Structure 1
Amino acid sequence: MYIAISAQYQGGGFKGSVGNFANYLEKENEGKRAEEQEYFFNQYENNVEVEQVIRDIDGNTAKLRKVDPKFYSIVVSPDQRELKHIGNDPEKLREYTRELMKAYADSFNRAPKKTVDDIKYYAKIEHERYYKETDKKIQENQAYANKIMGLKKEIRQIERGEEKGNLDRLKLRIAKLEREAPHRQNGKRIVNGMKKEGYQTHIHIIVSRRDMTNSYSLSPGSKYRASETELNGKDVKRGFDRDKFFKAAEKTFDKTFEYNRNFVESYQGKNLYAKDPKKFFAVMAGLPATEKQAAFKLLHKSGMHIPSIPTNQAQLAFKAFMKLKRGIEKSLGSGGIEI
């Protein structure tokens, strides 16, 4: 499960309408029949038109300054194993989103306690993802792409009579580079703009900075974690408990769909690795046999090479541990929960 929360940001500030973003989320509906399209939804409504989304979010900004974000974007991306478990069913993802937003409201440290009925939000499901320049696979293929572009330039120059050379030999070199590129999909080198294979379904959630009544601010990006402060002689609760939200996001999915989450893909495991990778490895080594086997299988699927690993903590070899550490870091970095 990958969750990212980001504030509205447009051209150096937080000015402007949600319109551009909401209309952008309509891109997958182009050319589809009405029954094939995905509509916006919220806690109680389905099939919400984009015009209502824009009107409601833009109209819920009382007392916000120009330097304040008017809304937040939450992207929820279950991994392919999780999507396979629920049959990539959009109705189940809508159900999950509604439960997730209850946890979101509960993570605000405010009095009185906030509920999902205090939150103004709209969500939309998308089914496709495309490779972009910032993707690691594109970056690692770039050296091969540069050489191929250079060779294709040589071919064009020869075909125009500007240079001399062996076209067949150049084409063979290009074919060799295409085969040697480290990341391929369906037999082809992965390039910018290529559609990603497999389940890619994810959820975009637009959350108003203001509450449902447009009376007060609820910011998940607050610099304050859950805490209390004194204001006008009174103790006031403030902040957003991110750890609580992330844990609840995972727990909600697992409970709702009876998903058996492995330690290495859990928030607990990823958090432990970030704080104490050696302890993370020790816990992995001490897992029950079937769970440990599944854990290593998941890490293998991430593309890492796992050395021969001792199963007793006292036998930990530093060299082997460092090899595993690099692999785990690569694996965890590809699918974590972050803000």
Structure 2
Amino acid sequence: MYIAISPQKVSGSYSKSVADFVSYLEKENEGRSEGEMEHFFNQYSDEISAETVIETIDKNTSKLKLNEPKYYCITISPSARELKQLQHSSEDLKRYTKSTMKDYVSAFNREISGKPISINDIVYFAKIEHERTYKGTDKVVQENQPFATKILELKTELRKIDQGLRTGNTKEIVLNIKHLESEAPHKQDGKRIVQGMQKAGNQCHIHIIVSRKDASNRVSLSPGSKYKASDVEFNGKQVKRGFNRDAFFTKAEERFDATFGYQRNFAESYASKKLYVKHPDRYFKILLGLPTNERAIAFKILGRSGIKIPQIPTTTAQLAFSALRLLKRGVGIAMKSGLIGI
């Protein structure tokens, strides 16, 4: 599972309104009938209009400065393996989101009117999306790019020949284009993967818009706080502050597993990602020490993340140094690019 929390920016600065982001999230509803549309939802309603979302978030910004985010976006993207565990993607994910937002609230080390904040103290709207498209930053698109560049050059040459601007063997050019198309390393349904192409399979994920201010529009709640949990003196009073991201990410993962009976493999756990970052040697020791069937699943998960898995011997003692080095390099790249874990 991949989870990200980020303040929404437009051209490097914080947007004054959530309107553009809401419009972006409405793109899948274009051309669909009312019954086919995915509506915004929150803890209290499953059919909230885009206009209500914009009006509510934009009004809930009291005393926020121009250089402060007005809202945050939480993106939750279950893996293909996790999505297979769901019976009804939209309804299951809505139910999961409502539970997870309670975990989000509990990750704050804050009080409002002397009480720990509750789900009723935050303002949020969520939306389920079913489609994803390949981006220019995706590894498969980048590795296909040299072929795309050559194909474009040949098509430009072919067009100039058709316009009488130059001479050349059009049949040979067409054959070269076909050859390049077939040689491109990454394809989907037999076609070269390009930027903007819709990804195949179940691509369900969740976008959650959370107001920076609480429901009373008085208290600022920032999941971007650099503090996990601390008490400070403010105007002569002790004030709690902080947001524990580790606790939120861990609970979100545990919530998914408990809700859907999901058996999480070591390689896809948030704990393993943290272990890799802090203690890579321990990470690989545990990875290679997994039971045979669990280790096979782990390598399959890593392989689907774009990591080249070397031929791993059956025991750690037999593991070739070069194979381990290759595996470490692959896992490291994937961790940095956010392909694995939360």
Tell me, what secondary structure is at the counterpart of 2:196? coil
The equivalent residue for 2:24 is 24
Select which of 209, 233, 240 maps to 2:243.
240
Does residue 189 of structure 1 match 2:192?
yes
CA distance in 1, matches of 2:17, 2:302: 42
**Structure 2-normalised TM-score?**
0.93
CA distance in 2, matches of 1:202, 1:244: 21
Post-superposition Cα deviations, 1:181-217, rounded to whole Å, max 9, x if no partner, equal 1211111111111111111111110100011111201
Q: Is the 8 A contact 2:269 2:341 kept in 1?
A: no
Closer, same or farther: CA 265–15 of 1 in aligned 2, 3 Å: closer
The equivalent residue for 2:133 is 130
The equivalent residue for 1:100 is 100
Q: Is the 8 A contact 1:121 1:207 kept in 2?
A: yes
Q: Is the 8 A contact 1:246 1:337 kept in 2?
A: no
CA distance in 1, matches of 2:277, 2:38: 37
**Cα distance, 1:141 vs structure 2:** 1.1
Q: Is the 8 A contact 1:88 1:199 kept in 2?
A: no
Tell me, what secondary structure is at the counterpart of 1:124? strand
Tell me, what secondary structure is at the counterpart of 2:287? helix
The equivalent residue for 2:321 is 318
Matches within 5 A, 1:129-168: 129-168=132-171
Query: Which amino acid is 1:76 matched to?
Result: I
Select which of 330, 335, 339 maps to 1:335.
339
Q: Is the 8 A contact 2:125 2:209 kept in 1?
A: yes
CA distance in 2, matches of 1:303, 1:63: 45
Post-superposition Cα deviations, 1:37-68, rounded to whole Å, max 9, x if no partner, equal 00010011110111111111111111111221
CA distance in 1, matches of 2:310, 2:135: 32
Does residue 280 of structure 1 match 2:267?
no
Tell me, what secondary structure is at the counterpart of 1:217? coil
**Cα distance, 1:119 vs structure 2:** 1.1
Matches within 5 A, 1:1-339: 1-87=1-87, 89-111=89-111, 112-332=115-335, 333=337, 335-337=339-341
Once the two structures are aligned, what percentage of the paired residues are identical?
A: 54
Corresponding pairs, count: 338
CA distance in 2, matches of 1:132, 1:36: 26
Unaligned segments of structure 1, at least 5 residues: none
CA distance in 1, matches of 2:213, 2:238: 22
CA distance in 1, matches of 2:15, 2:315: 57
Query: Which amino acid is 2:126 matched to?
Result: A
Query: Which amino acid is 2:258 matched to?
Result: K
Q: Is the 8 A contact 2:302 2:331 kept in 1?
A: yes
**Structure 1-normalised TM-score?**
0.94
**Cα distance, 1:316 vs structure 2:** 4.5
**Cα distance, 1:311 vs structure 2:** 4.8
Query: Which amino acid is 2:195 matched to?
Result: N
Q: Is the 8 A contact 1:123 1:205 kept in 2?
A: yes
Tell me, what secondary structure is at the counterpart of 1:74? strand
